[in-house]
Chains A and B, each alone.
Chain A
Amino acid sequence: MATLNVLVVVCLLYVIFLFAIAFGADRAALHGRGTWLRSPLVYTLSLSIYCTAWTFYGAVGFAARSGLEYLTIYLGPTLVMIGWWWTLRKMVRLGRSQRITSIADMISSRYGKSNSLAVFVTVLAVIGSTPYIALQLQSVTLSFAAFAEADSGAGSLPDQGSTAFWVAAGLALFTILFGTRNLDANERHHGVVMAIALEAVVKLFALLAVGVFVVWGLAGGVSETLTRIETSPIAMWQVPGSRWVGLILLSAAAFMCLPRMFQVMVVEIEDEGHLRTASWAFPIYLMLISLFVVPIAVVGLQELPAGSNPDLFVLTLPLMDGRDGLAILSFLGGFSSATSMVIVAAIALSTMVSNHVVMPIWLWLTGANVMMSGDVRSVALLTRRLSIAIILFLGYLYFRISGGGTALAAIGLISFAGVAQFLPALMGGLFWRGANKSGALAGLGVGFAVWLFCLFLPSFGPTVILPQAVIDNGLFGLSWLRPQALFGAEGMDPLVHAVMWSMSLNTVVFVLVSLVSFPTPVERLQGAQFVNVFQHSATAGGWSGGLAQSEDLLIMAQRIMGAAEAQRLFAGAAESQGLAGYLPEPTPDFLQQLERNLSGSVGVATAHAMISQIVGRASVSVEDLMAVADETAQIMEYSSKLEAKTEEQARTARQLREANEKLTQISVQKDGFLSQISHELRTPMTSIRAFSEILRDTEGFTETEKNKYASIILDEAIRLTRLLDDLLDLSVLENGQVVLNTQSGNLHDMIDRAVSAAGGTSTAMQIKRDPDTENVQLVTDLDRLAQVFINLISNARKYCDASKPELQIKVERKDHLLVIDFVDNGRGIPTDLQSVIFEKFSRIGDTKAGGAGLGLAICKEIMARLGGDIAYLPGQTGAAFRATLPLNAEMSDQAAQ
């Protein structure tokens, strides 16, 4: 049997074939061909990297050791695909809209693009994946060894360690060649995806082939197989419920959180709709691949010598039966499972390491500007290649240190439990806006610490890292810090124990810290975007380049800059490009120019975001939006300041206008007043001057004539004097310079004096009074009050035009007021003039009665000085005036007597 050599040759041919497939797919994708690459089937098959060598070999070993428990590993993802596909869809949608490149990117993006979180997740992912990679190396190494054992004629064998090393090196090479060929913006790897899809077919086919061989070739048919199963110890196996539930949840969590699963599921997806196909096709794949696990395990246990490694039944059963071809196929299936997982995991991890750890450090060290530095690209590629090599080396290291002794399934579960720690932060981020960075960091930290202590470190076996004493007596001798009985939880399965504690503490700490700490604005914004991704991720319509973009840019520019200005700018640019019309090509130069112009109006960030939106170069990032918000806030602040200023100016202007109007009014009043005074003075002086000249120049006047003219002169002189007196009086009253001469006196006596001073009872006018009501003792300036009464009485005498003129003086006390009415029986004052009679120089009637129109104005001033008032009483028989005076304490006393 030259099987080992054949195997090596077949293996090499297989790898070359994979290279060809990957290369072809990359070429096809590069040239836009190969729609078959974008089939949902390829997507579904690529998801099968969930089924690693662990599945291929380990499931049988799992079943041989623990019965049907291995099914939990398939049930978890099946439940996720069927029952939770909408959560996956949310992740996929976010992955595309936020241009997510890895799970570290996803979590850090959600929590405000926190780099510390990204670094943390990356480190944890690397640590968590290392056992898994070691597992693949181990399986390939073991399968090689199995062949070597069977091939007894092969002479000396390479030891297991060097086999693992060469496998790791080969995988690193393959991954580097296809995983880092280019730095695609969307991080898709068509070649790799195609290759792993093919490997998925190979491994399924191989496992089914072995299964068919075992059932029909070895066991002798379906019914015999079932009989064998019933009699085997596997059927007797009792599975503790807690372990079932725990394992299902764990595998479900790992399915979503494993970096490599995230890579194929979210990053490499071509179309969101593929998820729909995968949601039923992938569970079928899982079902098929697990179909023959139990028969192989049962038959293997019965047919193979005791002590055979159940993890290798898939390989050793065909070998035992001398089916070399089938054995080689089986080996290729296992090889495919291992390589596909390692390649994708290495790509995913190297992306994270390079993007979140190496690049930030490199940029920080060199201070390079991303946009200007051309060699960033080569640095990124280099760091990715190095990362891949380092990750595989770490896997190899774990394999060597752990001694390859642990069962495959156990190692896989340790990895699962490690990456499952991402779940609270990931799900919390997708569905809970209150989740924040501090909570995510704290939860992840606690969860990972527990995982490290309870599961990862003990997995190396006692004495390697954790001393036996710690495992038995707890850390620092504290019994509640025993890695397998934390907080005194004894008697549990170590895995369930570790998962329970790490996940629950992780979740509790995550929620509590999120509740008590405050997110930054970017976190809030991202939180809203993540939680509500379906509400506002309408994808921008396709801008199909060239002039269509220019047209849209012009429309936008017109809105911002105004039509004329925008058209001028565009036409100028078109002309400088040698184009007719006003639509230039959207060259980088022109876009920059436009952005500069627009930023004058809307701010730099907004202009950039708007142009990006139209040209579709880059999606608008959160930083862009924040900058836009900042600018908007500044503009709003500025405009509200302007508004306040404008309002203030308007108020000042209004005040000025009012002041000006007042001044103008006062000026007009003053002019009017001066004109009036001038008129009142000049009129009597005209008569005086004219008659003086007549008397002087004319001879032969009789005495009568002389007397007549001299009397006119005298009358006018008296009128002039009275006018001056009134003017002075009014001036004194108005300026408040008047000194009141308060005396005590009887109202009746005072009215008597006023009547006689106003011409007495001699004239035709009859004055009606009621002496009883007039018996009021007054304490006031009696002379001033008399002046008012005289004025009112003489006005009545002058203006009352009744045939039998009468004036009634009525005195009345109302509450604390003394009311004195003067009512005549004439025509009264026309309604339209009633409001002006108290104004200076207002006169009623056509003919002059000698006054200058100052009398009532003076009365008004006097009454105000005495603390009372005077008003016209409308609706009486004739003209009616009402003078009111407050009754002070003294007057009231007097009146009471």
Chain B
Amino acid sequence: MGRKVMLIEDERNIIEAISFILSRDGWEVKTHSNGHDALDAIRERMPDVIILDVMLPGRSGFDILQDIRKDTEISGIPVLMLTARGQKKDREMAERAGADQYMTKPFSNAEILESVRSLVIT
């Protein structure tokens, strides 16, 4: 299938878990673990789906998402936001920033797989 997922997340164990789950489903998973140069990494790889954590070292996921939506080259890529804070306010902020999907940690493996799949199909 050759469909690419870009995972931007700083927790080592979470990167490993999500990579395992998506790779097993046939996704090509690229990871990036800080906010500074996340945009460059995205432009370089041009993934089909982006999984974006909110609390990143360097820059928050919300800021990165806003920049993605401004950049015409990459603004069409669907984004799934992950957050561990789980407050209502965070969900609203994600929607305002233009997230396609939003998911609170912890999540089940099936959930994240389903979510990523649905983003590519639509």
Taking Cβ atoms with an 8 Å cutoff, the residues of A that contact B are: 671, 674-675, 678-691, 693-694, 697-698, 712, 715-716, 845-848
Residue from A683, A685, A716, A845 whose CB has the most chain B CB atoms within 10 Å: A683
B106 and A685 contact, CB distance less than 8 A: yes
B11 and A686 contact, CB distance less than 8 A: yes
Residue from A685, A690, A691 whose CB has the most chain B CB atoms within 10 Å: A690
Q: A682-B104, A682-B106, A694-B21 known; A687 and B11 CB under 8 Å?
A: yes
Give Cα A846–Cα B85 distance, bound, in whole angstroms.
19
Interface residues of B in 3-57 (CB under 8 A from A): 10-11, 13-14, 16-18, 20-21, 24, 34, 55, 57
A385 → B minimal CB distance (Å): 101
Chain A residues lying within 8 Å of B108, measured Cβ to Cβ, are: 689, 693
Nearest neighbor of B108 in chain A, beta-carbon distance: A693
Give Cα A689–Cα B108 distance, bound, in whole angstroms.
7
A-B contact pairs, 6 of them (CB 8 A): A682-B105, A687-B11, A687-B13, A690-B109, A694-B21, A712-B16
Nearest neighbor of B58 in chain A, beta-carbon distance: A846
Interface of A, secondary structure class, is helix
Nearest neighbor of B90 in chain A, beta-carbon distance: A675
B62 → A minimal CB distance (Å): 13
**B72 interface residue (CB < 8 Å to A):** no
A682 and B14 contact, CB distance less than 8 A: no
Give Cα A681–Cα B105 distance, bound, in whole angstroms.
10
Taking Cβ atoms with an 8 Å cutoff, the residues of B that contact A are: 10-11, 13-14, 16-18, 20-21, 24, 34, 55, 57-58, 84-87, 90, 104-109
Give Cα A683–Cα B17 distance, bound, in whole angstroms.
12
A686 and B58 contact, CB distance less than 8 A: no
B102 → A minimal CB distance (Å): 14
A683 and B14 contact, CB distance less than 8 A: yes
Given contacts A678-B86, A684-B13, A686-B11, 8 further A-B contacts (CB under 8 A): A675-B90, A678-B87, A682-B84, A683-B14, A686-B105, A689-B107, A690-B18, A690-B21
Q: A690-B21, A693-B109 known; A679 and B84 CB under 8 Å?
A: yes
A682 and B86 contact, CB distance less than 8 A: yes
A687 and B14 contact, CB distance less than 8 A: yes
A689 → B minimal CB distance (Å): 4
B106 and A688 contact, CB distance less than 8 A: yes
Give Cα A838–Cα B104 distance, bound, in whole angstroms.
29
B20 → A minimal CB distance (Å): 6
B3 → A minimal CB distance (Å): 21
Residue from A681, A697, A716, A846 whose CB has the most chain B CB atoms within 10 Å: A846
Chain A residues lying within 8 Å of B10, measured Cβ to Cβ, are: 846-848
B87 and A686 contact, CB distance less than 8 A: no
Q: A687-B13, A690-B14 known; A679 and B57 CB under 8 Å?
A: no
What are the nearest 3 A-B pairs in CB distance? A690-B17, A682-B84, A687-B13
Give Cα A716–Cα B106 distance, bound, in whole angstroms.
13
Chain B residues lying within 8 Å of A671, measured Cβ to Cβ, are: 87
B13 and A712 contact, CB distance less than 8 A: yes
Chain A residues lying within 8 Å of B21, measured Cβ to Cβ, are: 690, 694
Q: A685-B106, A847-B57 known; A694 and B85 CB under 8 Å?
A: no
Residue from B84, B104, B108 whose CB has the most chain A CB atoms within 10 Å: B84
Chain A residues lying within 8 Å of B24, measured Cβ to Cβ, are: 698
B115 → A minimal CB distance (Å): 14
Nearest neighbor of A688 in chain B, beta-carbon distance: B106
Nearest neighbor of A679 in chain B, beta-carbon distance: B84
B87 and A691 contact, CB distance less than 8 A: no
Give Cα A683–Cα B86 distance, bound, in whole angstroms.
11
B17 and A694 contact, CB distance less than 8 A: yes
Residue from B18, B87, B109 whose CB has the most chain A CB atoms within 10 Å: B109
Give Cα A551–Cα B84 distance, bound, in whole angstroms.
79
A678 and B106 contact, CB distance less than 8 A: no
A716 → B minimal CB distance (Å): 6
